[in-house]
Amino acid sequence: MFQSLTSLPPDPILGLTAAFRQDTNPNKVDLGIGVYKDEKGNTPVMKAVKQAEEAILDSQLTKAYLGPMGSPEFNNAVTNLILGKDLADNIGGRRVTIQTPGGCGGLRIAAEFIYTANANATIWVSDPTWANHKPLIGSAGLKFKSYPYYDYATNSVNFEGMIEALKNASRDDVVLLHGCCHNPSGADLSMEQWQVIKNTALNQGFTVFVDLAYQGMGTGLNEDVYGVRLLAESLPELVVVSSCSKNFGLYRERTGAVTLICESEKACNASSTLLASAARSNYSMPPDHGAAIVQLILNSPELYSIWEDELTEVRNRINSLRFKFAEKLNASTIPKDFSFIKNEKGMFSFLGANTNEIQELISNYGIYLVNSSRINVASINDSNIDYLIESITEVLRK
């Protein structure tokens, strides 16, 4: 049965990590996968997470099953984090949250839910979007269309193009937006642009689906969900998939959620059974550990304050790296203005290198970046920045 199988090409992001590990170049730098690294190049366990883990170790009495929806305390805490408590309370019984194995598990469950609601639904994704969006969502059976998002010539959001395209989306369609820290471009929507999107969704009647993987990594915990909250209070329906991988540093613990807002409580109750059934038929129940940590942090004022401070430190460091990196590139002999990198948000920006230049950076300099030229700014530090600038200059100034 397996004799005729041939190997798949490496994953565009994870394949880079594997290649990076095998590279013997002592100066190598991994600008590929979106994982935060500190000045020493480590991805540390946050202090608040460590303290929560110790408390769980001391107090946990059972490892019995959680159930397909996961922990109700986690689901409430995460909903409050995303929507803010007042809005979450206002929406009341029109919303439901299910704990999922990471944001990826959430995207897949949300896609299956949408497919059950309307097997003809088309999902509109940004061009470009995260390399795993289509595999994750498409495997649930949904079709895709794309809307223009990033203008490579001006290094900014092509908002006019985006809205023109979305005027062709209809009631049977779902529009996938990045809540903040757009992956892969780092170019986010302004408050005014979110307002226009809200009005377009109301006029066209499409359903909005927000992927929120970086809350707190861009401008702030509240600022980064301006768009999500606006849509949640204005639209009859909304799907939000959130991840705790980045903002809690819980990558391997697979901690995420789907939050659904429906037009009525009745629809919400029915939807909740479909979400549970999608979980049950995929993995039965989500893992507990990461969610137990998050729920403890979000429900303890003391741990929350430690976590918030750490997250602020992470965000400030990324933003200062953006500044430093862009300044140094601007001071180099590459004939290009890199100032846009300073204003983009989250971990990613496009370097603007072509395929040959990317290959040269990888093969000759051990500098690994995704083939769209996406770089993870959070991998830069004082020890590698000059090497990066010199190497990038060598390759890009030609």
* Residues designated catalytic: 130, 211, 246
| Inter-residue contact 373 to 395 (CB < 8 Å) | no
Chosen residue from 122, 132, 299, 371 binding ligand LMR by CB under 6 A: 132
Kindly write down the DSSP assignment for every residue of 304-360, as one continuous string: HHHHHHHHHHHHHHHHHHHHHHHHHHHHSS-SS--THHHH--SSEEE----HHHHHH
In the complex, the smallest distance separating the C-beta of residue 132 from ligand LMR, rounded to whole angstroms, is: 5
Helix (H, G, I), strand (E, B) or coil at 122: strand
Q: Supply the DSSP symbol for 237.
A: -
Is residue 230 a contact residue for ligand LMR (CB under 6 A)?
A: no
In the complex, the smallest distance separating the C-beta of residue 350 from ligand LMR, rounded to whole angstroms, is: 13
Angstrom distance (rounded) from CA 188 to CA 272: 31
Is residue 13 a contact residue for ligand LMR (CB under 6 A)?
A: yes
Give, for 395, the enclosing helix (H) or strand (E).
helix 385-396
Chosen residue from 28, 30, 31, 34 binding ligand LMR by CB under 6 A: 34
Nearer to ligand LMR, 124 or 130 (CB): 130
In the complex, the smallest distance separating the C-beta of residue 270 from ligand LMR, rounded to whole angstroms, is: 32
In the complex, the smallest distance separating the C-beta of residue 120 from ligand LMR, rounded to whole angstroms, is: 29
Number of chain positions touching ligand LMR (CB under 6 A): 6
Looking at 34-121, which runs of residues are DSSP E strands? Answer: 95-101
Chosen residue from 15, 19, 23, 33 binding ligand LMR by CB under 6 A: 33
Is residue 111 a contact residue for ligand LMR (CB under 6 A)?
A: no
Is residue 242 a contact residue for ligand LMR (CB under 6 A)?
A: no
| Inter-residue contact 184 to 128 (CB < 8 Å) | yes
* 4, 66, 188, 240, 354 from 155: Cα distances, Å: 45, 45, 11, 27, 15
Is residue 130 a contact residue for ligand LMR (CB under 6 A)?
A: yes
Is residue 371 a contact residue for ligand LMR (CB under 6 A)?
A: no
**Which residues form the interface with ligand LMR (CB under 6 A)?**
13, 33-34, 130, 132, 183
